[in-house]
Amino acid sequence: MSNDSEKPEKMTDTTVGAPLPKDPQPSVDRIDELARRVISGDILLPKFQREFVWKRQQTLELLDSVRRNYPIGSLLLWQSRQELRSENCIADLEIALPKPDYPVNYLLDGQQRLSTICGALHWSGNDAASVWNIAYDLRNKEFVHLDTLEEPAQHLVRTNKLSDGAAFYKFCATLDLLDAKDKEELKHNADQLFNRFKDYKVATVTLGDMSIQDVAPIFERVNSTGTRLTIVDLMRAATWSQDFDLIDAIDEVLQVLDEKNFGGIDRKVVLRVMSAAAGGGFSVESIDALRNYEAATLKKAMEDSQAAFEKSVDYLVTQIRIPSDAVIPYANQIVVLAEFFRLCPNPSSTQYDQLTRWFWQSAVSGYFSGWNTGNMTRDKQSVEGFVSGKEDAITVSAYKPHPKVWEQKTFRADNAHAKTLAIILAHESPVDLLTGQRIDVAKSLAWSNAKEFHHFFPRDYLKSRGVPANRANCLSNIVMLTSISNKQISNRRPSDYLQDVVKAAGSNLHTWLESNLISGEAWSAALSDDFDAFLEERSKTIDQRVAALTGW
């Protein structure tokens, strides 16, 4: 990094041997000049998407934003010597091939926006149905798509004339020949449009000499316009060939898993497993090395990954009783599971038992909430040691949480501890406290909504007692309950509605409570409407069940 007294030397494409600046370089650039740099090959569009994906109306709205001088967001460039596959056309607009020398300028954020400007200003194709066959209506002050290659009505100016001053002023000269009363207004609107597209500027930030692993987190964080891009998209551009498309390969795996309700697994998870299957690890640094492999090696790694994912999903469904990807506490648990099944496709019963302990340990401890590069390396080595017999188990460098965690964490759909508790409850085969009917745990764990999860101490009752919402929603206060029973309970105090439970359960009361992880002590506290005591006792019961599952 340069120090404060040094100003980095600006790098151009011709100074190949000179060092590139490392600090982000902000600038303000004319939009038409940036478009011209794309057309000429000075700015490259990495192969993030298969094709231009914006809808026609979106292109018109962006052009109108420029006309009105509305901000359209900043652009992010990466000036680098690393090679990424790049596009040579935007829809049916051809752009120059990449220059053979490096460094080059890759457009990381703003592809759709800058592509729209390029297409509108520089298209000269022969397909009347092209998304770039656009004109500006000088009367109505709006952009429209045309359906013909013939010259449009006089009050319509094709947007591709805006990139050519001579062609545009030749068009304006024809307006003088009009007999229309609004001739002067049309000329004024035309001049205003031309000047806007010539003068419109956007903020551009250029990243300097960084590796993909350094650029990736910046890339993921800043991209916020249109389709969100991730390191998977970045690596697609780094590995793309006629024989291998990374995103296609990943989506084929997810399509297979979708049949088992696990198609929502993050693409990055698949990429980590593929990286390990190719001989690397789970980290971004290892993922970066995929660029060095031939298409055949990448295909084989993805095939091995798919087989490992299928076995992992079967294990989660049968052993952990997770019905879909939505309930997995941490996405990266799948990474370690898949690596295990890749190396050990037919585990012994002892290995299955240890694997299950690992799952619960990593889930309840929150281990994967801070999964860094060091953890990734240790976990991969631990899996390898476990499979080879050098280690007795996959180790987790974490500990059983304090029982209070079930009072401190709230029930939310995106909360890992909430998912973990839901799976634990499902293992108890809970029954509805007011009817004794078996709860449909598969329906509950579909996780599309929380209709089967309710407060043992009703939320409205607690609110009337001045209990804060986050404490009322704590995990220790959550049970599986049908919506009908929940309506019957409504906002009644426990000492009231629990009399209905006693009548319905009869001699089965202990069994019903046990299936919901409610001890005798917690029950007594509830009968006294003692919320704090109930939470403490139920947290202890959940903690005891956690100890049994984890072996801690």
- Per DSSP, the residues of 254-322 read HHHHHTTT-TTS-HHHHHHHHHHHTTS-SSHHHHHGGGGS-HHHHHHHHHHHHHHHHHHHHHIIIII--
- Return the exposure string of 507-539: e unless at least 16 CB atoms fall within 10 Å of the residue's CB, then b: eebeebbebbbbbeebbebbeebbbeebbbbbb
pLDDT at 512: 97
* Euclidean distance between CA atoms 262 and 319, whole angstroms: 15
pLDDT at 442: 78
pLDDT at 94: 86
From residue 340, give the alpha-carbon distance in Å to each of 125, 307, 383.
Answer: 53, 11, 6
- Rounded to 5 degrees, φ, ψ at 250 are -65, -45
- Rounded to 5 degrees, φ, ψ at 153 are -55, 155
CA of residue 269 relative to chain centroid, distance: 11
Which of 355, 371, 350, 354 is closest to 316 using CA atoms? 355
Q: Do residues 156 and 163 lie in contact, with contact meaning Cβ atoms separated by under 8 Å?
A: no
pLDDT at 84: 84
Instruction: Provide the 3-class DSSP secondary structure of residue 202.
Output: strand
* Euclidean distance between CA atoms 448 and 362, whole angstroms: 24
Q: Do residues 367 and 397 lie in contact, with contact meaning Cβ atoms separated by under 8 Å?
A: yes
Which of 353, 349, 341 is closest to 312 using CA atoms? 341
Q: Among all chains, which residue has been given the structure tokens 């057309």?
A: 39
* Euclidean distance between CA atoms 248 and 235, whole angstroms: 12
Q: Rounded to two decimals, what is the model's pTM?
A: 0.77
pLDDT at 49: 59
Which pair of tokens denotes residue 81? 């010597």
* Euclidean distance between CA atoms 437 and 481, whole angstroms: 10
From residue 451, give the alpha-carbon distance in Å to each of 384, 448, 461, 484.
Answer: 42, 9, 19, 10
DSSP-assigned letter for residue 7: P
Q: For the chain (length 552 residues), average pLDDT per consecutive 10?
A: 32 40 83 94 81 80 96 92 83 78 84 92 91 95 95 93 92 83 90 95 90 80 63 88 91 96 95 97 93 94 98 96 93 97 97 96 94 95 96 90 94 91 93 92 71 89 96 96 90 96 96 97 97 98 96 92
The distance between the two most distant Cα atoms of the chain, rounded to a whole number of Å, is 98
Cis peptide before 103 (omega within 30 of 0): yes
pLDDT at 54: 73
Question: If 0-12 CB within 10 Å is exposed, 13-18 middle and 19+ buried, where does residue 93 land?
Answer: buried
DSSP-assigned letter for residue 431: B
Question: If 0-12 CB within 10 Å is exposed, 13-18 middle and 19+ buried, where does residue 377 land?
Answer: middle
Beta pairing partners, 244: 241
Instruction: Provide the 3-class DSSP secondary structure of residue 438.
Output: strand
Which pair of tokens denotes residue 212? 């993909």
CA of residue 270 relative to chain centroid, distance: 13
pLDDT at 161: 94
153: left (phi over 0), alpha (psi -120 to 50) or beta: beta
* Euclidean distance between CA atoms 264 and 257, whole angstroms: 8
From residue 165, give the alpha-carbon distance in Å to each of 33, 161, 306, 339.
Answer: 13, 7, 55, 60
Q: What is the CA radius of gyration of the chain?
A: 31
Instruction: Provide the 3-class DSSP secondary structure of residue 60.
Output: helix
Which pair of tokens denotes residue 26? 């902000």
Which pair of tokens denotes residue 327? 């309930």
Neighbours of 463 (CB within 10 A): 13
pLDDT at 449: 54
